[in-house]
Amino acid sequence: MTIPQSHVAALRDAAESGVSFDGLSVTVDDETYTFATPDERHTGLSAADLADIAAANDAYVTNWHYWTRIDRTDSEQEFLRWLEHADELAVPERYDSLSEDGLTRLWGELSITTTLDAGKNEDGDGDQRRYSIRHEDDIGADHAELAVYHDPLDAREVAKHDDDGRYRPLKTAPTLQTGWAFTDLNGRALLRTIDFLYPATVHNWYLERHENLDVSHWRETAQRQTGIYDLIEELDGEQLEWLTEACCVDSQCLKRRQWDESADEPLDTPRGDGVFPCREPCSLVIAVARKLTLLEREQTHEYTFELTPSEKEQLETLIDTVADGHTEEIREADADNGANRYRARYLRAKRFDEHGQLSGAPTPDADTEN
């Protein structure tokens, strides 16, 4: 077993003030070193002895070096350690897993795998971990089947469109395209890549773990708005329930909603099970809220329609199908499904008049401009 000479030198230097990290303990007293792990303890070591013992315990030493000698922010450090279960797995166990298949965590739709790659880094640059990312749906895929990237900046294009080529205005929508992988990343490149795929999620996750997440609830967010958005303050609590059910549940966004109507007025809509938090209503929710606020200014009217029971059910099915995003899944000849295109066209032919009005019932002028 070998470790870079620079690691040994760094360990000797650090011993002056005492090393205590992930089970490794190294101290020095009068140029005599003590080296201990949970499994062994060596005292009375010369510098040369220390180098030998360090080499024999390379996992502990490289682990210490990787986590204490590389420039990272607190959130980056905590996230990268979370990825390899550093708080749960002791070093030998962790290194066994890292050097075999690696350790994998899910982050939204991302599958992130940490592996050891000591062999490539004999120069002691500290990159003893390598990271790779792919879509969780591609976990079993061969590299040859995937478009492989190494530059974090390429993540911007990956994040832009879904598998059907549609633009994704919301980065954390569960519609990330498949068929790609970022491989052989160092920690910094991994974090930059995630930051383009799911901006700010790592930092906000970190803040939440330390109970420092700055949540902006709906009322203060709405109150902050100006210009064309200042009117969203009109939405009431019930309408906010509908809005969050429409936009913020797991089927629409992978962030876990931590904001409510206000700190004292929780919303009943499920917050979601996402690993990273949502700290305030996003710009997409604000934009949708604006349209809904305008529409909610209208008064209801009574209409008289005649529909067969099946036609009424068909309208319900149509709305469900659009709301759940399942229109593409309905087979061409599936006449049993009310949202089938032929069924919908038949209903339109039968129930719409020449002005496109249901059962010929006139639509009253909207009471407001929207």
Partner 1 sequence: MSRAHAQSGTDTKQALVIVAHGSHLNPDSSAPTFDHADTIRESGAFDVVREAFWKEEPSIREVLRIVEADEVFVVPLFISEGYFTEQVIPRELRLDGWDVSTWESDGTSADYATYEAADIGSTVHYCGPVGTHDSMADVIIQRARSVTDDPAVGPGFGLAVVGHGTERNENSAKAIHYHADRIREQHDFDEVKALFMDESPEVDDIAEHFDSDDVVVVPLFVADGFHTQEDIPADMGLPTDGPGEYPVPGTVEDTRIWYSGAVGTEPLLADAILERASDAGAEISDAIERVRRSTRDRDVVVGKP
Interface with partner 1 by CB under 8 A: which residues? 67-77, 153, 156, 160-161, 167, 169-172, 195, 199-200, 203-204, 214, 224, 226-227, 279-280, 282-284, 287
Report the nearest approach of partner 1 to the CB of residue 272 (Å).
17
The DSSP bridge pattern shows strands 41-45 and 129-135 to be unpaired
Torsion angles phi and psi, residue 200, rounded to 5 = 70, 0
CB of 5 to partner 1, least distance (A): 17
Q: What is the DSSP letter of 39?
A: S
| In the complex, least distance from residue 347 CB atom to partner 1, rounded to whole angstroms | 30
* Shorter beta-carbon distance to partner 1: residue 117 or 280: 280
CA-based torsion, 320, 323, 326, 331: positive or negative: positive
Q: How far apart are CA 119 and CA 2, in angstroms?
A: 10
User: How are beta strands 129-135 and 180-185 bridged, if at all?
Assistant: antiparallel
Residue with Cβ nearer partner 1 (188 or 297):
188
Q: Between residues 74 and 329, which has the closer beta carbon with respect to partner 1?
A: 74
Minimum distance from residue 329 beta carbon to partner 1 (Å): 25
Tokens, residue 196: 């383009």
The arrangement of strands across the sheet holding 129-135 comes to: 103-107, 110-116, 129-135, 180-185, 147-149
Closer to partner 1 by CB, 256 or 279: give it.
Answer: 279
Q: CB-wise, 151 or 268, nearer to partner 1? A: 151
Count of CB atoms situated within 10 Å of the CB of 249: 14
Closest CB to partner 1 among 287 and 361? 287
* CB of 71 or CB of 328, closer to partner 1: 71
Nearest-approach distance from CB 342 to partner 1, in angstroms: 31
Q: Retrieve residue 206's tokens.
A: 């970190």
CB of 112 to partner 1, least distance (A): 18
| Distance, CA of 263 to CA of 315 (rounded, Å) | 38
CB 27 within 8 A of CB 18: yes
- The nearest distance, CB 328 to partner 1, in angstroms, is 20
d(CA 13, CA 9): 6
Q: How far is the CB of 172 from partner 1 (least distance, A)?
A: 8
β-pairing, 129-135 vs 147-149, is: unpaired
Decide whether 135 or 290 has the Cβ nearer to partner 1.
290
How far is 173 from 254, CA to CA, in rounded Å? 6
Look up residue 361 and give its DSSP letter: P
Q: Which amino acid is at 304?
A: T
